[in-house]
Structure 1
Amino acid sequence: MKETIRDLVKDKKVLILGFGREGQSSFRMISSVGGFTCLDIADANAVSSDLTAMHNVITGAGYLNCLDDYDVVFKSPGIVLPKDINEYKCHITCQADLFLQVFGAQTIGITGTKGKSTTSSLLYHILKTCGKDVLFGGNIGLPIFDITDQIHPRTIIVFELSCHQLEYAHYSPAKAILLNLYEDHLDHYGSVEKYWKAKQNIYRNQDYNDYLFCNPEFLPAKGDCKSTIVKVSSGDLPFASFDEIPGVTLRGTHNLFNTAFVYDVCRRYDISNQEFMDALATFKTLAHRLQFIGKLDDVDYYDDSISTTVESAISAIKAIPNAGTILLGGMDRGIDYDPLVEFLQTRNLEHIILMYDSGKVLLDKLSSVASDAFMEHVHYIEDLGAACEFVKSNASKGTAVILSPASASYGVFKNFEQRGDFFKEHIGL
């Protein structure tokens, strides 16, 4: 990895674009290999003053205007370029693409609109529990450059990949998992087609010896994928329900499907059915992903703050048999809420709580189509804090309250983790 980066930056003016967790990781890696003419930083926000003494730091509203002053730009995920990438004279790259260039043959890449963190974590857990030499990084929160020193020729790398990491990809993992494709991130991409195209890069650069484990509903277009396609089904599993395995914390048919992806991959690594099920029983549900956070006054509380799509909120309600209250709403990114509006009218929920900007959109849509009797169960409550107070006073004993917002957290919270923590704290669990 270091040799590849050294060749890329030698005698070049290098810019770190975005100085969050991944940008700082790239800065450390490039600093360690050396050979560059300069190593500068550009970020919308202020950067540590001790760096400004030795490196040029560009901050503020115009931080994206300097790219063509450099030869090589290491772009952090999520930064929206003001121009098409092909219009820049500089070479723009990222950690994910460079990593896959070097270690793609050893890598299992996982992407999808929903479920990728749970699937990635479960895959890593089972491989590790079954004694495999395996490492985990990527969108889950660990920059992929930070694990390169631990990689050996037989190491398996589980790499969670977001759409932003795949957006300009030139390389693909030897084993790719495509869980699903739903409407999301329209504020970044402008259209669902552009968003899906970014996700589909996980297989577009695969070769004939590679594998794509794919949701049959989202198969590649003819000619788009050279690799062997494995159509995944929940029926592939050696069990029909999580209830058959004592100790399993995963819930819902959507997680059963995610587990089938993991199972189909693990079969390629000679893991037996019994080993798989034993390891599955010790996996703990990730925080903020339909996580049972506790019981208060005989009411169950679930934190599904990761939910930013209509489909994830629907899955959450379906997964919890005693679902009585759903908390929806956050930043409105212009996604189509009609499927959720239709679904809610088919459920016998005690309370549907709508919050923030997207909650107002949902309220307008429901008001225009739902009956007066149904609307008696719908409450617009301006923020999550007030919503927590409402459910503590009004949720019936024996029911479950689910935070599954179907909306982004930005604008109110730093991220979905902070939103989930806020929910848990204000419920008092």
Structure 2
Amino acid sequence: MKRDFGEFKKFIFNKKVGVVGIGVSNIPLINFLLDLGAKVTAFDRKSKDELGDVAIDFDNKGVKLELGEGYLDNLTGFDVIFKTPSMRIDSEALIKVKEEGSYITSEMEEFVRYTKGKVYGITGSDGKTTTTTIISKILEEQGYKTWVGGNIGTPLFSQIENIKEEDRVVLELSSFQLMTMNEAIDVAICTNLAPNHLDMHKDMQEYIDAKKNIFLHQNKEDILVVNRENEITYNFEKEAKGIVREFSSKREIKDGAYYKDGVLYVEGKEVCKKDNIVIKGMHNVENYLAAFIATKDDVSIESMKKVAESFGGVEHRCEFIREIDGVKYYNDSIASSPTRTLAGLRAFDEKVIIIAGGYDKHIPFEPLAYEGYPYIKELILMGATKDKIKAVFDKLEKEKGVKVNIKMAESLEEATNISKEIAVSGDIVTLSPACASFDMYPNFMVRGNKFKEIVNNL
């Protein structure tokens, strides 16, 4: 049974609450906490000038602001702390305040604890956003009032009292959001796992352990959906508390979802043909299989089929931009890891010219070279990792005699211009960086939009 939100309202009233991070999800959270009668102090590394109108608004509402370089110095004496997802629970400031007796939580934990709607939680290294979006579309097609949140959509905690028991809630959950999650998620989906975010996590094991929290607190009637073909997620079954469902693109699973001879099935029933799915690539077949087996209790095969044959995909994911002189340009800026780039490369029927490189998340690039070379016609490298990626392709040439043509660029503009110079009619150019964007752009969306702008101006 879900907890009654009235409990939280009583608990938070008049409490001294610290909110760390004044970002997209925490701005509505701060306003909501004020409405519930909490005394709020907000902490952020940004200055008052950088926060602009947000700081003025909070000032006027009586929110105390702790800003700038030493912004966490006064994180002390609070009843409750809401942390931003990327803040590690073992950070010095949080350890200190926890020892003082503060209750440390996050917007997502409190939301899952109190929401009345049935929750679908989606995590994984690749395919999270697309699978989240597909699930929400299928539920909407079936007629449910559907709320989308977590890493995408809108911050939901401030809307919790509008969400009814018959509604459906679909959450994309990152490893950071899951690190401290200790609530039961009704339907947990893990698309796959591969090295990622090793700049934030101590090691791969910590990353995997964070992901496991999506199902470790489930009850026996809850559902865990795993990728049968991913060794790590397949192993989750041993620790599952509830009902396990599998999906596979490589083998027939009678009581799961599977792909065989060009057709997608759920429990042996045909849903749709691969060729009729609008978004291409085997990785999207897997995303659909995960979505189908996760939602089968709530939706009809017709709803699944209709979405698969009409949904055009999410922006920045193998998104077609335009064709110039017979050359097609695609924006796959979301691909911030080598495995994600590989999935994008496999979606095309021919070798592609790829623009890659960016911020260093300290994850190995060997998969991009050793598994990716058959799909790459030319490689254009940019960003902080360009030399690191080149070194791996040089190693490939030395060990296996496989040479991939590489060009180096100082900026996205230069990389795009190089691609235009070397491409001939019939070629495909894709921005699929295999890295995060933070060395050049605030996020993958800004990077993707910049690429679209450059291509549209060619």
Question: TM-score normalized by structure 1?
Answer: 0.92
Matched, 1:258 2:278: no
Deviates more, 1:212-221 or 1:106-115: 212-221
RMSD: 2.3
User: Does structure 1 residue 224 correspond to structure 2 residue 235?
Assistant: no
1:302 aligns with 2:330: yes
1:175 is aligned to 187
Matched, 1:12 2:15: yes
| 1:402 aligned onto 2:410 | no
The one-letter code of the counterpart of 2:136 is: Y
What is the deviation of 1:2?
Answer: 5.0
Amino acid at match of 1:52: D
Q: Is the contact between residue 320 and residue 328 of structure 2 (CA under 8 Å) also seen in structure 1?
A: yes
Change (3 A) 1:201 1:44: same
Determine which of 352, 363, 366 is the counterpart of 2:390: 363
Q: Distance in 2 between matches of 1:387 and 1:355?
A: 7
* Residue 28 of structure 2: aligned partner: 25
Within 5 Å, give how 1:139-218 maps onto structure 2. Answer: 139-216=151-228, 217=230, 218=233
Structure 1 residues 332 and 96, CA, compared in 2 at 3 Å: closer, same or farther?
A: same
Aligned residues: 425
Taking structure 1 as reference, are residues 246 and 258 closer, same or farther at Cα in structure 2, changes over 3 Å only? closer
- Whole-Å separation in 2 of the counterparts to 1:345 and 1:376: 7
Give the fraction of aligned pairs with identical amino acids, expressed as a percent: 26
Query: Which amino acid counterpart does residue 124 of structure 1 have in structure 2?
Result: S
1:128-184 deviations in whole A, cap 9, x for unaligned?
A: 112223222221141122442431121111111111211111103111101111111
Question: How far, CA to CA, are the matches of 2:420 and 2:158 in structure 1?
Answer: 43
Counterpart Cα distance in 1 of 2:299 and 2:359: 44
Q: Displacement, 1:238?
A: 7.7
Kept in 1, the 8 Å contact 2:237–2:244? The answer is no
2:64 to 43, 46, 56: 56
Name the SS of the counterpart of 2:147 in structure 1: strand
Contact 2:345 2:372 in 1 (8 A): no
Is the contact between residue 18 and residue 79 of structure 1 (CA under 8 Å) also seen in structure 2? no
Structure 2 distance, partners of 1:365, 1:261, is: 33
The farther-off stretch of 151-160 and 226-235 is 226-235
AA in 1 matched with 2:164: H
Could you tell me how far apart the structure 2 residues matched to 1:192 and 1:52 are? 42
Q: Which amino acid aligns with 1:22?
A: S
Task: Give the Å deviation of 1:98.
Answer: 0.8
Change beyond 3 A, Cα 1:327–1:17 = same
Q: Distance in 2 between matches of 1:276 and 1:368?
A: 45
The answer (yes or no) to whether the contact 1:352–1:377 under 8 Å persists in 2 is: yes
Supply the distance in 2 between the matched residues of 1:4 and 1:290 (Cα, whole angstroms). Answer: 45
What's the CA shift for 1:85? 5.3
Superimposed CA distance per residue, residues 57-107 of structure 1 (whole angstroms, 9 cap, x where no aligned partner): 001122223333211011122234523955523211111111111137711
- For 1:77, the equivalent position in structure 2 comes to 85
Asked whether the 8 Å contact 1:77–1:164 carries over to 2, the reply is yes
Q: Hey, which bits of structure 1, 4+ residues long, moved more than 6 A?
A: none
Is 1:418 the counterpart of 2:446? The answer is yes
Q: Would the aligned equivalents of 1:323 and 1:401 in 2 still touch at CA under 8 Å?
A: no
Given the alignment, which residue of 97, 102, 111 partners 2:123? 111
Give 1:276 deviation, angstroms. Answer: 1.7
Q: Is the alpha carbon distance of 1:270 and 1:343 closer, same or farther for their aligned partners in structure 2, counting shifts above 3 Å?
A: closer
C-alpha distance in structure 2 between counterparts of 1:403 and 1:50, whole Å: 39
- The Cα offsets for residues 311-353 of structure 1, whole Å up to 9 and x where unpaired, read as 1111111111133201110011211111212123334x32111
* C-alpha distance 252-104 of structure 1, shift in aligned 2 (>3 A): farther
1:291 aligns with 2:292: no
Q: What is the letter of the counterpart of residue 33 of structure 1?
A: L
The residue number in structure 2 matching 1:324 is: 352
Is there any run of 5+ residues in structure 1 with no aligned partner, and where? none
- 1:97 aligns with one of 109, 112, 128: 109
Structure 2, unmatched stretches of 5+, are 265-271
**TM-score with structure 2 setting the length:** 0.87
The structure-2 alpha-carbon separation of the partners of 1:357 and 1:103, relative to structure 1 and needing over 3 Å to count, comes to same
State the secondary structure of the residue aligned to 1:369: helix
Which of 298, 301, 306 is the equivalent residue of 1:269? 298
Report SS of the residue matched to 1:331. Answer: coil
Q: Tell me: CA distance 1:104–1:50, structure 2 relative to 1, closer, same or farther (3 Å).
A: closer
Deviations 1:392-421 (A, max 9, x none): 121121111111111010121010000001
